[in-house]
């Protein structure tokens, strides 16, 4: 609180920013225009102090992580989003498409591990139908009875249900009954219709993405939300995105975490137009997301996207969750040019704890619902 008082007492803070800070400190919600003002005029130190204040109200000094793996079952995708470095066609030599047997064999490798979550995702491929997954999810749960299955972006779900000629409600209900526990936040990209047409014109629109998540929340499937930033969008587009998410959360209370995803420019066609934003812009985006999304319990700094050092820095800009150990199970960001030590996308529990402790925070191992795991 002393830091906040010092911030408000500073003569260098413009009146409009001081008024925003006073609203946040008193627990009042900032509006659309104030969110844009924070992006346009907020200095990084100011934003960091304010975001840290909000985070402390939610979690104190706690920073969360879990033990998890990804199952990226295919990179073959019928969509050709211009920002994507992951998508391949059947003709590409570096494409893959895992069979049911291969997926189950991969899962068996973790039967004696301490992972608590499997995140299933991949390209949009006709191979992976609703029937395929309703048959396979129980087999995964049989191998790992305590595992939490977080699976399928809204884009993947829409394709499954369309091909099965089922409504969103019917399709989600079938998946839930088959073992689906929650859904990730992928496919949101940026909600603005004009920008969406330029970067991912084939994907479902914002309204359909939001409808799928709202329906999931209604039947007891919680989810995350993401935003792809740092490409051709502007600050107004980002706040528009956050506003839509905040409005849905007011209605459903079904989002667990918000995850800003930085556009990475290697190996995709959008790089002909734009590069990557700076780490300063990354931290500003984290901080304003934490301030604006006053009804989201968690803000995740996904270290496999940002890199370890940036993830560590983000803990001072509103982030309270670093995702998990990953066990070298994801290729999405390494294919987009993010470099990792020994080319392995993994961190041990000890590494994650040390990263958190070194910056003055308290490491908390969690499950997928943010319940503390006692050791």
**Looking at residues 301-313, what average pLDDT do you find?**
95
CA dihedral angle for residue 312, residue 63, residue 216, residue 68, rounded to 10 degrees: 70
Name which of 187-196, 228-237, 241-250, 335-344 the model is least confident about.
335-344
User: Is residue 361 in a domain?
Assistant: yes
Which candidate, 66, 71, 7, 29, places its Cα nearest to that of 329?
71
Range of the domain at 36: 2-54
**Per-residue confidence band for 341, with pLDDT thresholds at 50, 70 and 90:** confident
Among 38, 54, 70, the domain boundary falls at: 54
Task: List beta partners, residue 117.
Answer: 68, 148
90-94, 120-124, 201-205, 231-235: least confident range = 90-94
Q: Strands 298-299 and 117-121, how do they pair? A: unpaired
45 and 82 housed in the same domain: no
Beta strands in 54-208, from DSSP E residues, in sequence order = 62-72, 117-121, 148-151, 182-183
Lowest mean pLDDT among 94-98, 137-141, 281-285, 315-319: 94-98
**What's the rounded mean pLDDT across residues 273-294?**
97
Instruction: Tell me which residue of 222, 215, 226 sits closest to 254, measured CA to CA.
Output: 222
221 and 249 share a domain? yes
Is the pLDDT at 2 greater than 60? The verdict is no
Residue 269 lies in a domain: yes
Token pair 């934490």 in the structure block, residue: 290
Which pLDDT belongs to residue 8?
Answer: 65
Torsion-angle region of 159 (φ positive above 0: left; ψ -120 to 50: alpha; else: beta): alpha
Of 234, 260, 365, nearest in space to 314 by CA: 260
Q: Is residue 371 part of a domain?
A: no
11: pLDDT confidence band, cut at 50, 70 and 90?
low
In a domain, 370, yes or no: no
Q: How far is CA 17 from the centre of its chain?
A: 28
* pLDDT for the residue numbered 10: 67
Are 82 and 30 within one domain?
A: no
In a shared domain, residues 129 and 242: yes
Tokens, residue 167: 């409504």
In terms of Cα–Cα distance, which of 344, 282, 288 is closest to 309?
Answer: 282
Beta bridge partners, 149, equal 118
pLDDT score recorded for residue 343: 78
Q: Is residue 6 very low, low, confident or very high in pLDDT (cuts 50, 70, 90)?
A: low
Give the angle 229-289-185 at the CA atoms, nearest 5°. Answer: 60
In a domain, 105, yes or no: yes
Answer yes or no: do 20 and 155 share one domain: no
- Classify residue 126: in a domain, yes or no: yes
Same domain, residue pair 112 and 34: no
> DSSP secondary structure string, 256-319?
EEEEEEE---TTSGGGGT-----HHHHHHHHHHHHHH-TT-SEEB--HHHH-HHHHHHHTTTT-
Same domain, 168 and 24: no
**Final residue of a domain: which of 39, 54, 69?**
54
Q: Give the Cα separation of 119 and 182 in Å (integer).
A: 9
Same domain, 21 and 76: no
Asked if residue 131 and residue 239 are part of one domain, the reply reads yes
Looking at the fold, whether 117 and 248 belong to one and the same domain comes out as: yes
DSSP-assigned beta bridge partners for residue 52: none
Residue 60, CA atoms < 13 Å, CB-side half-sphere: 4
Residue where a domain terminates, one of 35, 54, 73 = 54
Residue at 263 is within a domain: yes
CB 335 within 8 A of CB 353: no
CB 269 within 8 A of CB 82: yes
Which CATH number is 255's domain given? 3.20.20.70
Looking at the structure of the chain, the number of domains it has is 2
Tell whether 81 and 171 lie within a shared domain.
yes
Residues 68, 119: one domain? yes
Calculate what percentage of the chain has a pLDDT beyond 90.
89
- Distance (Å, rounded) from C-alpha 245 to C-alpha 207? 11
Q: How confident is the model at residue 265 (pLDDT cuts 50, 70, 90)?
A: very high
- The pLDDT assigned to 336 comes to 83
Answer whether residue 372 is part of any domain: no
Each residue's pLDDT tens digit, 26-60: 999 999 999 999 999 999 999 999 999 999 999 99
Average pLDDT, the chain: 95
């Amino acid at each position: 609180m002393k830091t906040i008082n010092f911030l408000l007492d500073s003569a260098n803070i413009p009146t409009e920013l001081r008024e925003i800070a006073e609203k946040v400190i008193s627990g009042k919600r900032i509006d659309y225009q104030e969110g844009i003002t924070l992006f346009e005029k907020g200095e990084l130190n100011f934003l960091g102090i304010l975001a840290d204040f909000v985070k402390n109200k939610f979690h104190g000094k706690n920073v969360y992580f879990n033990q998890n793996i990804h199952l990226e079952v295919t990179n073959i995708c019928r969509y050709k989003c211009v920002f994507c470095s992951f998508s391949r066609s059947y003709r590409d030599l570096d494409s893959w498409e895992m069979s049911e047997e291969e997926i189950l064999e991969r899962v068996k490798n973790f039967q004696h591990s301490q992972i608590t979550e499997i995140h299933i995702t991949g390209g949009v491929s006709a191979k992976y139908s609703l029937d395929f997954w309703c048959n396979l999810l129980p087999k995964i749960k049989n191998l790992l009875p305590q595992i939490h299955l977080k699976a399928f972006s809204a884009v993947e779900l829409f394709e499954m249900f369309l091909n099965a000629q089922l409504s969103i409600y019917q399709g989600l209900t079938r998946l839930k009954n088959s073992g689906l526990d929650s859904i990730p936040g992928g496919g949101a990209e940026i909600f603005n219709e004009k920008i969406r047409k330029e970067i991912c014109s084939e994907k479902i629109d914002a309204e359909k993405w939001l409808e799928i998540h709202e329906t999931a929340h209604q039947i007891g499937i919680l989810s995350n939300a993401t935003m792809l930033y740092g490409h051709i969008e502007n600050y107004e587009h980002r706040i528009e995105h956050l506003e839509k998410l905040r409005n849905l959360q007011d209605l459903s209370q079904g989002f667990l975490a918000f995850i800003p995803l930085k556009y990475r420019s290697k190996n995709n066609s959008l790089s002909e137009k734009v590069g990557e934003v700076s780490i300063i812009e990354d931290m500003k985006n984290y901080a304003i997301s934490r301030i604006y999304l006053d009804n989201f319990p968690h803000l995740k700094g996904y270290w496999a996207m940002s890199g370890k050092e940036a993830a560590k820095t983000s803990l001072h800009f509103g982030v309270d969750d670093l995702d998990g150990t990953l066990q070298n199970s994801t290729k999405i960001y390494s294919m987009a040019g993010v470099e990792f030590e020994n080319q392995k996308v993994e961190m041990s529990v000890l590494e994650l704890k040390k990263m958190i402790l070194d910056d003055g925070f308290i490491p908390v191992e969690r499950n997928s619902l943010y319940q503390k795991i006692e050791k």
